[in-house]
Chains A and B, each alone.
Chain A
Amino acid sequence: MAETEMESNQAGGLALELDPLPPSLTRPLEKVYAFWLAGMSCDGCSISVTGASDPSVEDLLLGTIPGVPRVILYHPVLNGEAGEEFIHNFELAAQGKLDAPYVVILEGSAVDDSLIDGAGYWVGLGARPGKPSDDGSKVISVMEWIDRMAPGAAAMIAIGTCATWGGIPAAEGNPTGAMGLMDYLGKDYRSAFGLPVINIPGCAPVGDNFTEVVAMVLHFLQGTGPLPEFDELGRPAWQFHHTVHERCVRGGYYEGGVFAEKYGDPECLVELGCWGPVVQCNIVERGAIRHHGGCMNQGGICIGCTMPGFPDKFTPFYKEPPGATVSTNTSKNVGRVIRFLRRLSQNHQNRETRWDRESDTPSGWALEKHGDPLFGRLADFFYRKMQFHEAIKPGRSIPETKFRDGYEVKNKRLQDERNGPAEEMVPGYVRRRAKLERDGNRMAV
């Protein structure tokens, strides 16, 4: 159990031991049913999933991925009380009569129907028709479908922050008592395959995070893949282990203690209200869609939309996180020294070794940057000493690497010969022209 005793807010190892293959599966699946239910949803998760490409939703639905069963997706709702002849797959699923396993995907929060006095609903999906004499039909709460379908589901998957943790519909002041699927089903819930709720958070989540989990779970069920690792909150561990900051394209600015002062600046956004350092999310490295976008990549602050504390623990948005003052001041002080040293070595790395030999820069863009100042050369000398301490310096300085018979490539020989006092920088074409003149081939000049 040591693996599970990690920091409580970090994705850890396996939170639960699972059988390698559910006992009910004795042969590879040809198809899997997926029932998509909408709670308090904006449909943003569905939209996100249509943008996925690893795999794409059409790959899953058409069954074009080798070794992965076809996913038969239902977005609908139908009335359980309708005549026997109209009982469809939802009803069959609820009754355990489908010919293949099914998963239920919930998008949008669960709600608290107990807040309603008498008839009424917060979110309805389908209705029981009344008699002709009635003036209305009885709307079925989506919670009823969850109650009926959860026990027999191979897996209950919550997609998006509303379904996973409650999200914005569950924010302070909400009238509906909205909550995440885990809150609704409780700690002890296990699917027919023994799984607690799988959570893929994000508002909206990266589409690929969802389709990847589906594909990988299916590979596992087919016996071709490892059991995907989920953390102690049921998140795919390989996707949500790291903080945004750990993979942020602006993280280096933080290290150097340089912070954006106004919207649109290219530096670290923490002082503008970015929560990246503590938020578990992979959007900056994965991108929002096909590696494009991804909050900080484009200048957006992290508002913690993948986290259970979203939104109230991150508001007011655009206000610097309270904990940031200590850490940003620290990084500003340390960063000053680090930036100085790095600038020094960066300046050297911006010089070709030929330019060092010739003590000049051939760029017409930077006329003021001629030679290498003495201090820089000194720093470089020690830098190289350290760089090649107990390491091989490029070139053939070790006797064992010399050519036999005293051979040496001409360029190297000339360099060694010239390796005296710095010579003046001569453009390449001048040497070529001199050679051509030497050879008497004036036409080619």
Chain B
Amino acid sequence: MCFRNLPIEFDAQGAATLKSGADPFGYQTKAIDRDPIKQLLGKNGYVKAVDFDPVTRVAGALAFHTAVDLKNRKVLEASSMATLFRGYEVILKGRDPRDAIFISSRACGVCGGVHSTCSALAIEMAFGICPPPLAIVIRNLALSMEFVWDNVMHLFMLAGPDFSEAMIKKTEPTLWDRATRTQTRWGSIHGYAKISDIFHDMNPLTGKLYLEGLELSRVAREGYVTLMSKYPHPETIVPGGVSHTVTIQSFNVYLNRLMKTFDFAKRAIGIWNDICDFFYDANEKYKECGTRPVNLADLGIWDDPTAYDATYANCNEWGERRWATPGVILDGKLVTSKLQQINLGMEEFIEHSYYEPWSGQPHKTDPLGAPLSPHHPWNKETKPKPTGMNWREKYSWSTAPRWDRVAVEAGTYARPWITVLAGKLPHRRFLDLTENSMKIQVPKHIAPEMELEWKIPPVFNAFERNRARAYSIAYQAVVAYDNWLIGMDILKKGDYRTSTPYTVPKDHRMAVGFWGAGRGWLSHHLELDKGAIVNYQIITPSTLNACPKDPWGNPGPYEEAVLATPILEEFDSPEKFKGIDILRAIRSFDPCMPCTTHIYAGDQTISCEVNTCACGADD
């Protein structure tokens, strides 16, 4: 029984039925009470409004409001605000479905390729066509390489500077002092003797690790564009496959980029293990930074070219054949790994978002007859309505997606986590599973072959997100290599087909693309009629993570993580407070691009500027 809150039951054969009731999906909203907070803020004491605006601009520009008790070192209120609306779902309505691949790609310039692919998957399901094996492999190759650079970018250019000498000297001088006296444990892999040496090389723009990461991000993108033409926004994803003209040169150029990521992956794991352990050893309270219940959701990614058939009817089977198993974890327990159930559990709410509600429920069931909520993406309509910001009412352009009415988190780390708990991974050439760990056999490059083991952590927090992200570089790199070998095998058999012919259907069709972005969960829900898009709904990982409160007043993952974060920063006076713990908590979700975070102030608020990237290196 995978649902605790939704009125959907499954019989012994797994068929879903709706529990009886007048309005089974109906709910009562709960008002948000800010009066106690406002009283505390009005007293002008130790409770201050601290606003981070913006935090980041990618995948939904982000601003963050908090109320912090600086005496008791607690966050009392957190509101996450997506500050950008462009209307892609609205623009796609009424277009030729073939346009969706290129248009939806533009939803995200950090990893546009995942949108193109997800859109193609939805279109293929709608058109009733399946890409040939080589096309599936090429998509896997591109979108594992993409994540490699994406994770490197995050760990060394975005989150990295929060763990740099430049930052720590300002925010936690005693930690810096300790770092200069602390030996590393993983020095044999990454080559650093002291923790302070790592922090030094994490310095933005001038640090060796920063620059090495930037260079690697270019190398990986060279490999990516060899297959996909362009980065971001690939040019070779087409309905029915890819339009890349495959030669063995494609495979040669790709491998010569991929192999360079192997050694960096090994070092990144050592570096982030040392960083996490150092903070834990210095102060146990760091384990609470960004913590929240282990509620994770992922749709899986990287299809098995021998199993994928692009149908909704068989999605449970081909889903579990992926290199990352689909699944939902609630409170640390896996509740399902079936794509159909994961799909049924998703709903979107707009009580605190700048949208008008939609009426009606055009689809009572999914194409297999299972009950569908009126709040499910297939039933949703996107109707923007900008209004003034109000933390009790509407304050974000992000909707509030909920799975079984619980705030679930997406992340690159959800992939290994779910894959381990599901224990179904069919591809074990370079990966192996134990009950609570994933073993990754990273091939040799200049450094020798190495087995690295990621264990499900006993605690879940900002540090573990980053640590798992470092292991994910290795995970993705070996998925890429595995697929490279499979691709070469397909070429050996002389099967150079990369696409399947199609015609645009004129009848009514419903389809969905289940995929993943660099940060996890990505779904595109599609409805076609008369050869045009009737409805197009995108749920991105940042929607899941950055979302506002739900109708019941429960916080979204960023909000929840920040509320649990203790303030450990060292500051003499409230004016010097930088909010580094809060920033580390937010950034651990990988909200993206280098940018300067600014905390501003009025009379009652605290202001400081925290530079997280190249942009602020001159300060």
Contacts and interface: CB of A to CB of B under 8 A. Distances in A.
B494 interface: no
A379 interface: no
Contacts of A262: 499, 501
Contact of A123 (B49, B61, B109, B224): B61
Main SS class of interface, A: loop
The winner among B101, B109, B241 for most chain A CB atoms within 10 A is B109
A129 B605 CA distance: 8
Interface stretch (A39-47, A403-411, A420-428): A39-47
B387 A120 contact: yes
B499 A264 contact: yes
Given A272-B243, A289-B222, A316-B98, A76 B598 contact: yes
Nearest to A61: B614
B181 interface: no
Interface string A162-176: 000001110111111
Nearest to B153: A50
B354 interface: yes
A81 B601 CA distance: 9
B51 A290 contact: no
Given A73-B615, A300-B229, A169 B86 contact: yes
Contact of B218 (A53, A296, A305): A53
B209 to A, nearest CB: 14
B577 to A, nearest CB: 13
Given A43-B109, A78-B600, A298 B225 contact: yes
B53 A79 contact: yes
A157 interface: no
Contacts of B101: 317
B87 interface: yes
A136 interface: yes
B614 A129 contact: no
A138 B389 contact: yes
A19 B253 CA distance: 47
Given A53-B218, A262-B501, A137 B231 contact: no
B598 A78 contact: yes
Chain B residues touching A, majority SS: loop
A158 interface: no
Interface in A110-161: 116, 118-133, 135-139
Interface in A62-94: 62, 72-79, 81-83, 86, 88
Given A172-B91, A175-B87, A300-B230, A137 B221 contact: no
B229 A299 contact: yes
A289 B225 contact: yes
B110 A129 contact: no
Contact of B233 (A44, A58, A76, A299): A44
B613 interface: yes
B592 A174 contact: no
Interface string B68-105: 00000000000000011111101101111011011100
B83 A139 contact: yes
Contact of A283 (B217, B230, B234): B230
Interface residues of B, number: 104
Nearest to B103: A168
Given A133-B38, A264-B241, A40 B84 contact: yes
Contacts of A340: none
Contact of B232 (A139, A173, A176, A204): A204
Nearest to A273: B98
B112 A299 contact: no
A381 interface: no
Given A38-B57, A263-B243, A293 B609 contact: no
B392 interface: yes
B618 interface: yes
B70 to A, nearest CB: 15
Interface in B548-600: 592-598, 600
A243 B321 CA distance: 45
B14 interface: no
A175 B231 CA distance: 27
A315 interface: yes
B188 interface: no
B386 A318 contact: no
A197 interface: no
A257 interface: no
Nearest to B614: A61
A263 B107 contact: no
A185 interface: no
Identify the interface centre among A38, A124, A178, A203: most chain B CB within 10 Å of its CB: A124
B235 A173 contact: no
Nearest to A82: B600
B109 A46 contact: yes
B255 interface: no
Interface string B50-75: 01011001100101010000000000
B600 A79 contact: yes
A204 B109 contact: yes
B319 interface: no
A136 B387 contact: no
Contacts of B228: 293, 298, 300
Most buried by A among B217, B231, B241, B385: B231
B400 to A, nearest CB: 17
Interface string B600-619: 11111101010001110110
Contacts of A139: 63, 83, 389
A172 B92 CA distance: 9
Contacts of B234: 300
B112 to A, nearest CB: 6
Residue among B244, B598, B600 with the highest chain A CB neighbour number at 10 A = B600
A277 interface: no
A347 B141 CA distance: 38
A86 B601 contact: yes
Nearest to B608: A86
Given A125-B54, A135-B391, A136-B395, A120 B595 contact: no
A266 interface: yes
A-B complex: 8 closest residue pairs judged by Cβ atoms? A44-B109, A293-B225, A300-B235, A120-B386, A119-B388, A76-B596, A316-B96, A132-B41
26 contacts: A43-B108, A43-B593, A44-B106, A44-B112, A44-B232, A72-B618, A75-B615, A76-B595, A77-B598, A82-B600, A83-B602, A86-B600, A125-B54, A129-B602, A132-B604, A133-B38, A135-B391, A135-B392, A136-B389, A173-B93, A175-B85, A175-B87, A203-B106, A293-B226, A294-B225, A315-B95
Given A44-B232, A139-B389, 12 more contacts: A42-B106, A43-B57, A47-B109, A78-B598, A123-B61, A139-B83, A173-B95, A176-B87, A298-B226, A298-B236, A299-B243, A303-B235
